[in-house]
């Protein structure tokens, strides 16, 4: 596994992946920041493209995140994460909306759990999921980071 750090408007990000693709983006300012494991190799080279795309995103552009990603999760989590990818730039959906889209209308709370376990935030835009009342709800990078990401997209 390779990793590197990247500065961003939402604080330092940890990027990690292997020859299969990007496996993780972690907010260093989040509740439980991931720590690189001893056997990981610090090398920014595998992440040059994703860092360029993220820089464009933070600058208010709308890059297509066409980098290989490796998503490991349960079938339920994978279905939720697939729905997140379909939320258009600058728009939001509620947990209930996602539950209905995956044909599990009573699973809004479980959707919230899956959203919270998204290993590749920003590229898989979990920040675009809000409460049914329109309120901002939990986010691995913290609510300030969620506000910043939504503000970038509102420009």
Active-site residue flag, 4? no
Beta carbons within 10 angstroms of residue 155's beta carbon: 7
Residue tagged 């496996």 (tokens): 23
Cα–Cα dist 135/38, whole Å: 39
Q: Is 18 exposed, middle or buried (0-12, 13-18, 19+ CB in 10 A)?
A: middle
107 by DSSP, 3-state: which?
coil
Cα–Cα dist 77/74, whole Å: 5
Q: Which of 13, 54, 126, 149 is catalytic?
A: 126
- The residues annotated as belonging to the active site are 126
């Amino acid at each position: 596994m390779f990793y590197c750090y990247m500065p961003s408007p939402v604080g330092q990000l940890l990027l990690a992946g292997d020859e299969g693709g990007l496996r993780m983006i972690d907010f260093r300012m989040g509740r439980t920041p991931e720590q690189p494991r001893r056997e990981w190799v610090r090398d920014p080279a595998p992440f040059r493209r994703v860092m360029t795309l993220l820089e464009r995103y933070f600058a208010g552009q709308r890059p297509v995140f066409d980098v290989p990603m490796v998503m490991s999760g349960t079938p339920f989590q994978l279905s939720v994460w697939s729905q997140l990818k379909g939320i258009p730039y600058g728009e939001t959906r509620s947990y209930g909306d996602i539950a209905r889209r995956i044909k599990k209308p009573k699973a809004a709370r479980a959707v919230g759990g899956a959203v919270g376990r998204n290993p590749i935030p920003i590229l898989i835009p979990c920040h675009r999921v809000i409460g049914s009342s329109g309120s901002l709800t939990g986010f691995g990078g913290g609510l300030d980071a969620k506000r910043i990401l939504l503000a970038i997209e509102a420009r």
